[in-house]
A = this chain, B = another copy of it.
Amino acid sequence: MLALSLLDRAGAAGAKITPQRKVICRALECSGDHPDVDQLLARARESDPGLSLASVYRTLRALEDLDLVWKHDFGDGRARYEVRHDDHHDHLIDTISGQIVEFHDPELEALKKRIAARLGYRLEGHSLALFGRPADGESQTP
């Protein structure tokens, strides 16, 4: 019972529970990847074909404002979304396949804070994306 659903957390934060929000939240939670708005709309429309693009945008914005989802920019034009969990991670984008690899590195976390502090700042957030190609002998044909 530790994990409240995205919808429940939004409700607890005061958001009204609508059928479209239910569907959008569920679609995002069921996404193992980092869908963009169109992908999310398509997935949510499997449950509610009448769902509008505007509602997806508005819902995602609301969830982002509540700090319940992360909005990412991975370099291509569109925003990508992901449910925000306690565990923090960053992303590496495979420039060959477009695949996104998540990783967590405590050393990196500490270093970011230390750098900000050195500059006289308190770290509030960051955006980090690594871009790389599979090293020889790994996943792709070289």
Contacts and interface: CB of A to CB of B under 8 A. Distances in A.
A101 B139 CA distance: 38
A75 B129 CA distance: 13
Integer count of this chain's copies in the complex: 2
A11 interface: no
A49 interface: no
B130 A123 contact: yes
Interface string A64-107: 00000000010100000000000000001011000001010101
Contact of A75 (B111, B122, B127): B127
Contact of A108 (B103, B111, B139): B111
Given A111-B107, A115-B105, A131 B125 contact: yes
A115 B127 contact: no
A51 to B, nearest CB: 26
